[in-house]
Amino acid sequence: EESPRESLRYILKDRYEVVTAASGAEGLAALRAGEPFDAVLLDMKMPDLSGLEVLEQALQIQPGLPVIMATAITDAKPAVEAMKLGAADYLNKPFDVDEIRHVLERVLRERSLEQESGRSRAELQAVYNFDNIVGNSAAMQRVYALVRRLMDNDSTVLVLGETGTGKELIARALHFNSVRRHNPFIAVHCAAIPSELLESELFGHEKGAFTGALQRRIGMFEAAGGGTLFLDEIGEMPMATQSKLLRAIQEREIRRVGGQETIKINVRLVCATNRNLEQEVKRGTFREDLFYRINVVPIYLPALRERKDDIPVLVRHFTARFAKELNRPEPTFTAAALELLNQYPWPGNVRELEHAIERVLVITDSAEIGVDNLPFVIANAESAPVVSEATMQLTPTVPRAIEAGERLEFDASGRLDLPKLTDDIERRAIEEALRRCDGVMTDAAKSLNITRRMLRYKMDKLGVPPPRSAAHEPEDVETPLATEPTPGG
């Protein structure tokens, strides 16, 4: 029906790029013709084909595609059949906005296995091959040796390290080089999920288990069946959830929130934290018995400042990667710039270095990267040689990102208009991209890593006038049926 489709488009457009189809055949044609989609919301009843027929064909066209079935049928048999055929989930109509968003967010998070890029598992296995993990220092070689010994067993692993050291990368390497590599890798970031929702996220819930539990939902333990469940920042987990996690590990079974049935689980558990859990145990904020259960084999990831021998090779690696992504020649770094990068303490570790190199390549066209091109915070760190602030200023035409440590101006009432600040940054980025691409919207969209349609939407929203050359570009062709997450969504 057209009205529900348009309503869904309106509801979801703030976070996703939504396209629609009026029939099963139209949707299947879109799947065959366009780029891979990230999720599909599929009605069980359509004018031409049944939802189950479309589901089967859609999964043949794009294996692994998360398909959420929507049904007004009270009989549960079609929904069960859809799940058996490979549907990610199902919703009973009518459904509310929060329910739709929650389900979409969950299935897309589960699809982190594909890294939202449609890569096959074989490709992901190649990506997470140990030969592709950068780091030649003695400290990292010890890490690799330990991880290799853990590939062929199911021991619970606790990855320890500061933020940005690559804990999830190691967890993925463990999974994609193990016998479980053909099954899901599910990452749950405990600190990012509200404490009152974390239990349901992990163990699932039954319909009516709590206010808003309109449907039965499987949790991440079930979603990761046969594969690996990665619990990042486990030190942030509430004590009540810790108790249930301990039982799941001990008994190898779970019970959904509000349910009576016990469900056997088959997952390898890998946990990670940047906290000292032994200290948390002493403070009474982390269960001692759970600590011993997850600390079967600890892997300590050294901070980047503890393995500075790896900085030059990491710089080369990130420079090559971002040059390729930005479709630009690979620049070189001057000796002085490399010395600064080596001297900087990198409190954000490898992730901070990665972002710094990306930023340099985005805002600098030079074939050679010197001190003047490095972010101000790096060049002016206490451990770095003194460099005048004047030499660190970006070209006026380039939208400058907010520097770490930079003070933001709040008004007299102590408030900061964050949406306006975000809009201002997006507007300046779009204007700069259009300038660099001589007004060619297709090229500007590519440089911003968004679709041309999304660029047009943001320009309309932010009041950025279309360039004259846009009139000579081909119109957007809408691809029906599915949803593509917008960047950052």
CATH class of 418-479: mainly alpha
For the cut 80, the answer to whether the pLDDT of residue 73 exceeds it is no
Task: Please give the DSSP secondary-structure letter assigned to residue 327.
Answer: T
* pLDDT value at residue 287: 96
Both tokens of 89, joined, read 């989930």
Give the CATH architecture of domain 121-302: 3-Layer(aba) Sandwich (3.40)
For residue 162, CA distances in Å to 156, 167, 230, 461 come to 20, 9, 17, 39
- Residue carrying the six token digits 């469900």: 263
Q: What is the mean pLDDT of residues 411-438?
A: 76
Nearest by Cα to 445 from 433, 459, 463 = 433
Q: What is the pLDDT of residue 306?
A: 93
Task: Report the topology of domain 305-392.
Answer: Helicase, Ruva Protein; domain 3 (1.10.8)
- pLDDT-based confidence at residue 47 (cuts at 50, 70, 90): confident
Please report the pLDDT score of residue 485 as a whole number.
40
Q: What is the pLDDT of residues 218-251, one digit of tens each?
A: 889 998 888 999 999 999 999 999 999 999 999 9
Give residue-wise pLDDT tens across range 123-132. 666 667 766 6
Q: Where are the domain boundaries for CATH 1.10.8.60 in the chain?
A: 305-392
215 sits in the region (left: phi over 0; alpha: psi -120 to 50; else beta) called beta
Q: Where in the chain is the domain with CATH 3.40.50.2300?
A: 2-113
Long-range contacts of 239-243 (CB under 8 A, 24+ apart): 239/285, 239/287, 240/199, 241/195, 241/198, 241/199, 241/202, 242/286, 242/287, 242/290, 243/287
Q: How many CA atoms lie within 13 A of 217 on its CB side?
A: 26
Q: Nearest-CA neighbor of 301 among 114, 169, 120?
A: 169
CATH, range 2-113: 3.40.50.2300
Does the pLDDT at position 191 exceed 80? yes
By DSSP bridging, strand 228-232 and strand 185-189 are: parallel
- Could you tell me if 84 and 56 are in contact, meaning their C-beta atoms sit under 8 angstroms apart? no
Least confident range of 189-193, 204-208, 454-458:
454-458
**What residue spans in the chain does CATH classification 3.40.50.300 cover?**
121-302
- What is the spatial distance between Cα 360 and Cα 365, in angstroms, rounded to a whole number? 9
3-state secondary structure of 316: helix
Q: Secondary structure of 50-111 in the HEC alphabet?
A: EHHHHHHHHHHHCCCCCEEEEECCCCCHHHHHHHHHCCCEEEECCCCHHHHHHHHHHHHHHH
The share of the chain scoring above pLDDT 70, in percent, equals 79
pLDDT band at 423; cut points 50, 70, 90: confident
- Measured CA to CA in angstroms, residue 262 lies from 58, 122, 205 at distances of 33, 34, 12
Residue 374's closest CA among 387, 360, 388? 360
Does 261 score more than 50 pLDDT?
yes
Distance CA(338)–CA(356), nearest Å, equals 13
Which range, of 258-272, 328-342, 404-418, 450-464, averages the lowest pLDDT? 404-418
The residue type at 84: K
Residue 340 pLDDT = 93
Give the residue from 392, 402, 424 showing the smallest Cα distance to 432. Answer: 424
- For 156, the token pair is 């619970």
Please give the residue that has the higher pLDDT: either 196 or 295.
295
DSSP 355-387: HHHHHHHHH---SEE-GGGS-HHHHTSTTSPP-
As a whole-number percent, the residues of the chain with pLDDT over 90 amount to 34
Q: Please confirm whether the linkage preceding 298 is cis (ω < 30° from 0).
A: no
Query: Using CA atoms, how far apart are residues 70 and 90, in angstroms rounded to an integer?
Result: 6
Q: For residue 107, which of 44, 38, 169, 53 has the smallest C-alpha distance?
A: 38
Q: How far apart are CA 321 and CA 16, in angstroms?
A: 27
